[in-house]
Structure 1
Amino acid sequence: MDPTLPVGSIIISHRPSGLKAIKIGTVVTFITAGGERVTHRIVDVVKDDTGRMCYRTKGDNPINSVDLKMLYYSNIEAVLLFKIPML
């Protein structure tokens, strides 16, 4: 998430309080299918074929591309409250 969250930063986050807590621009933490914990920004909110809300995420580093897999609310562990850069 560099430059927003430089390596060594501490983030304070909390569990989302519902679907309305997650919108474009929200920074969320989730676990990938491979078990890696990732913090990225929501860049799109859409509904899947069944009508369920889902989210597309992307890191803030311009070299990285948009994440391929869509997230559901149940995949999101936390939303960013504030950060302490580079401790």
Structure 2
Amino acid sequence: MRLEDIRQRTRKVPFEPFRVFLSNGQTFDIYHPDQCVGSTGAAHISVPSENGPPHIRDQVTIVSLYHIQKIEPLPTPAAAAGSNGAG
């Protein structure tokens, strides 16, 4: 994976959540652009603690760009059945 690929995803406006797939089978779901920061040779991904609430990120995993196999957009929630989308 290239640094520019990470930056392109995190700087997209509007931001679209995405999933990072690693060569060891591990995945990371990125819901906010500040959750994944690319640097030369690595991506710094903030993750929730195992016992904490999922919206609190208190750990950072540093992943070599070499081990990122692909990035895919996360599925967006579908509108409720019978809904016309009007609020």
Q: Which bracket does the TM-score occupy, shorter chain normalised? A: 0.3 to 0.5
Q: TM-score, normalised by structure 1?
A: 0.43
Q: Indicate the structure whose relative CO is greater, using CA pairs within 8 Å and at least 6 residues apart.
A: 1
Larger radius of gyration: 2
Structure number with the higher helix fraction is 2
Structure number with the higher strand fraction is 1
Q: TM-score, normalised by structure 2?
A: 0.43
